[in-house]
Copies of this chain bind each other. A is one copy, B any other.
């Protein structure tokens, strides 16, 4: 579990609830199925037009990723690579073939397999780099959906508010009972405000969804992607070094340059 995400979400919702109660509001004033339909429905419809169905289905996988704890064991990975490098230097690259099934990380395993089969170093790098770019592209596409939703949410919130205001104004003018003077003014004004309050709920939902859900999740995905790509970059450099038969100690030193970074930026 990624506690930051969970705690942040819980805290965010709690803070809004506390804010409502402390301001003397009732929670049910902020519940409106209609508003949910307009805002969430609008965001989902626009997203469906914007993205192929498959990409939207992939959202659930992406979301699960957001809540998974992020352990990027840079040092463990480097130890692993150095072990492989030692064996390769002693017994030759081909000796690694037997160990392939024991390598957990898919990227490392496929990389070692490629290194065994590919003679030319520059081609090996090209292949691995292409694979890495593909992963980065996929990550960016995942983040992009959330940024799109973060821009749709306040727009449909505003749409709902305009919609509510139009209805309120039409209701008001069509229901105006002119025969009865002062009473009318007070009650009508009260009805007016109540309608406006209802209309504003969609804006409330839109701003909340965009700034508490979609934008931060998009930001977290970006962060996770940077960490994962850095880990994969270490693996890539490691595989290239093993392929070039560099000395294991040198490989470790080189890969540790990345780690000092990851430690500092967490």
Contact = CB atoms under 8 A, between A and B. Distances in A.
Interface of A: 2-5, 7-9, 11-12, 15-16, 18-20, 22-26, 29-30, 33-34, 37-38, 41-42, 44-58, 70, 127, 130-131, 134, 137-138, 141, 148, 151-152, 155-156, 158-160, 162-173, 176, 178, 181-194, 196-198, 200-201, 203-204, 207-208, 210-212, 215-217, 219-220, 223, 254, 257-258, 260-261, 264-266
A72 to B, nearest CB: 10
Given A8-B49, A178-B183, 12 more contacts: A12-B41, A15-B38, A18-B41, A19-B34, A19-B163, A22-B34, A30-B163, A58-B266, A134-B257, A155-B211, A159-B204, A166-B204
A194 to B, nearest CB: 4
Q: Which of A5, A12, A162, A264 has the most CB of B within 10 A?
A: A162
A265 B59 CA distance: 11
Contact of A41 (B15, B44, B162): B15
8 contacts: A4-B49, A9-B45, A19-B41, A50-B219, A54-B266, A134-B257, A162-B207, A169-B196
Contacts of A18: 37, 41
Contacts of A152: 211, 215
Contacts of A3: 53
Given A34-B22, A211-B159, A186 B191 contact: no
A173 B193 contact: yes
Contacts of A49: 4-5, 8-9, 12, 212, 216-217, 219-220
Contact of A23 (B54, B151, B167, B178): B167
A16 to B, nearest CB: 7
A162 B15 contact: no
A265 B217 CA distance: 19
A134 B158 CA distance: 39
A131 B9 CA distance: 35
Given A176-B186, A204-B159, A210-B155, A45 B11 contact: yes
Contact of A165 (B20, B53, B134, B197): B197
Closest 5 CB pairs of A and B: A54-B266, A8-B48, A169-B197, A12-B45, A8-B49
Given A167-B24, A173-B194, A162 B204 contact: yes
Contact of A11 (B44, B198, B260): B44
B191 A173 contact: yes
